Chain A
C-alpha cells in the first residue's frame, strides 16, 4: 500500500513538473533556446494569481487567465528585449543572457515586495481527499494532472493543426527559408514565447494552490526539474515533456520513500547527466528529430 501511495505522490509531483516542462520544451523546440527564465516567469505567474485573488478578490478562473495573460506579455517583453538582439549570436551568449534574465526577474521581485513568503488562500479550489483502499488521493492533484493533460493536447493541437503552429514548425525547421516563404519570423517567435510563458503562468497559479506557499525564489528548483523532465522526455517534444515530468516525479517519490530524501534532488540531476550521455535525444527522441 505504501508503494501505491508513493506512486500517487509521485504522479502528483510529476504533474507539476510536466506542467512547467510543457512551456520549456515548446520554446526550445521552436527557438532552440533553453529559456532559463521560464521558472521565474512561473513565479511571476504565481504572484500575479495571488494578488489577483487577494487584492481584486476574483475567483480561480479569472485569476488563472489574468496570470496567463500577464505572463504572456512578460514572455514577449523578455524575448524582444533580451533574446531578439542576440538572434545571430552564439548559443552560449543567449544561454548566459537567459540566466541573467532569470536572476533579474528574481531580484526585481524581491526588491519590489521583499523576500518573505505568501500563502495562497485555501478556499480557491475545493480540496477533498479521496481514500481508495488506504491510498489517499487529493482532488487537487487529480485536477493538476487533468490540467496538464488538457494543456498538452491543446499545445499539440496548436502546433500541428493551426496556421501559427505551421509557422512555428517552419521557423523551427529553417528560419531563413521560412522568412523567404513570407513567414514573419519575429512575430512567430513572439507567439511562441507568449504561449510558453502563459503555460508557465498557469503552472504558477496551480502550484500556489497546491503547495500554498509562494516566494520569489520558488521558480529556481521547479524550473531546473522541469528542464530535466523536458530533456528526459526528449527536449522539443511535447508529449515527451509530459511523460518526462511524470517519470521524474515518480522517481523522486520512490527515492524519498526508500528513505533517501536528501538524495532526491541529486538523483534528478544524475538522471539528467545519464540521459545526456546515453540518450541525448531523450526517451521520445528519434534519430531525425521531429521538432514541434
Chain B
C-alpha cells in the first residue's frame, strides 16, 4: 500500500541535497559513525519522505545521548526528489563520497528497488522503512543479502486479519471481496484465505470487482445470500467506501475488515460514519495504542514536532533503532558485520511492534488493529504473528 503515491502533498520543507558536515574520517573512523538516508524530501511523495526524516531525527537525538560503543551516529541525508534515477544516484553518492556504513531509504518500493543493486554491489546494508513490495528483499527466490526492511510486507496483513477474525471476533464463515485489478488486494486476500481456513474457518463466498466500479449491489446481494459472519475487503478507500455504504444499505451488517489501503479521511466521507461502524483495519501502528513504549514515543514526538506521529514517522523512528541495535551488536562499523547483525535481529522492541527478521529479511511483527467508531479510528488491539 505504501508504494502507491496517495498524496501529492509536496511540502516546502525541502532540505538541501546533503547535510553532511562531519569530519572527513570515513564511515567507521573517528568518533562518529556515518549513516545515510536516501529519502523523498521533495517531489510527488515528499510527505512520505519528510515524515520518515522526522522520525529518524528524533531517534538519532535519543540514541546519541548515550552513543553506540562510545561513538555517535551521524545522519547524511540526500533528497531523491521522489524519482528512481535520483535514488540510484543518491545511493552511489552516499557510499562513494560520504562513505556511510548503511543506507536508510527510501519510502516507496520503486525508489528502494532503484538502490538495491548499488547496495548489493558495494556491500553496504540498505534498510527501507516503508517499502512493502516483497521483491525488495527477495527476488526470484533469492534473498538480497544486504537489503532489509522495517515494515511488514503486504500479505502479512491478510494473515493478521484472519487471526483477528477467528480469535477476537470469533467468526467461522467469511466472505472475501477482492479488487481484481490490484496486486495489493489479491496478495492480502490470498494470505487471508490461507490463514483463515488453516485456523478452522470457512470461506463461504469469494467475489471480485475492478477499480473504479461504482455499483456493487448485485455482488453484495450474492455475498449476503451466502450468510457470511465476516467480510474481508482488502481494497483502496475509493471503492471500499462505496462497498461499505452499499453493503449496509442491503442489510449486510457483519463486521467488515481491510488493510492500510482504507486509511484515508475520504473513506469516512464516502461511506458515511454510520456505515463504517463495525469495520476494522490492520495498520503498522496506532498512536492511540496504550502500550507505554508507544505513548512515550508519541509524547517525545509531540514535544519536538507539535503533532501526533503517523505510521511513517513511527517507521522512520524504528528504522534508526533497528540499525543502531545492529551496529551495537556488530561491535564495529564494518558494513558487512552490520549486515550480519541486522539479519540476526530478534525480539527487538520497537514502536511498531516486536521485530524479528525471517529468512527473507522481512520483519515478523505485530500489527495494530483499528476500529472505526462514528468515523474515528480507535485502537482496538494488537495481533502478534
Kindly report which residue of chain B lies nearest to residue A215, judged by CB atoms: B238
Given contacts A13-B215, A213-B270, contact A262 B210 (CB under 8 A): yes
Interface-lining segment among A2-10, A34-42, A185-193, A283-291: A2-10
Quick check: B217 and A253 within 8 Å, CB to CB? yes
Shortest CB distance B14–A (Å)? 21
**Bound form: Cα–Cα A273–B15 in Å:** 57
Quick check: B218 and A261 within 8 Å, CB to CB? yes
Quick check: A117 and B270 within 8 Å, CB to CB? yes
**Is the C-beta of A119 less than 8 angstroms from some C-beta in chain B?**
yes
Interface-lining segment among B39-47, B241-249, B283-291: B241-249
Quick check: A122 and B272 within 8 Å, CB to CB? yes
Given contacts A119-B269, A213-B242, contact A262 B217 (CB under 8 A): no
Chain B residues with CB below 8 A from A257, complex form: 218-219, 221-222
**Bound form: Cα–Cα A173–B211 in Å:** 43
Chain A residues with CB below 8 A from B249, complex form: 127, 129, 136, 138
Quick check: A211 and B217 within 8 Å, CB to CB? no
**Is the C-beta of A25 less than 8 angstroms from some C-beta in chain B?**
no
**Is the C-beta of A252 less than 8 angstroms from some C-beta in chain B?**
yes
Chain A residues with CB below 8 A from B142, complex form: none
**Is the C-beta of B85 less than 8 angstroms from some C-beta in chain A?**
no
Quick check: B208 and A261 within 8 Å, CB to CB? yes
Given contacts A213-B270, A221-B212, A262-B210, contact A253 B218 (CB under 8 A): yes
Given contacts A129-B249, A138-B249, A261-B208, contact A212 B218 (CB under 8 A): no
**Bound form: Cα–Cα A12–B225 in Å:** 19
Quick check: A213 and B241 within 8 Å, CB to CB? yes
Quick check: A261 and B214 within 8 Å, CB to CB? no
**Is the C-beta of B180 less than 8 angstroms from some C-beta in chain A?**
yes
Quick check: A261 and B219 within 8 Å, CB to CB? yes
Given contacts A117-B238, A213-B270, contact A262 B208 (CB under 8 A): yes
Quick check: B221 and A2 within 8 Å, CB to CB? yes
**Is the C-beta of B62 less than 8 angstroms from some C-beta in chain A?**
no
Quick check: A136 and B251 within 8 Å, CB to CB? yes
Quick check: B238 and A9 within 8 Å, CB to CB? no
Quick check: A6 and B215 within 8 Å, CB to CB? no
Top 9 A-B pairs ranked by shortest CB distance?
A256-B218, A119-B269, A253-B218, A9-B217, A119-B270, A2-B225, A261-B219, A211-B214, A5-B221
Q: Which residues of B contact A (CB under 8 A)?
A: 8, 180, 207-210, 212, 214-215, 217-219, 221-222, 225, 238, 241-242, 245, 249-251, 266, 269-272
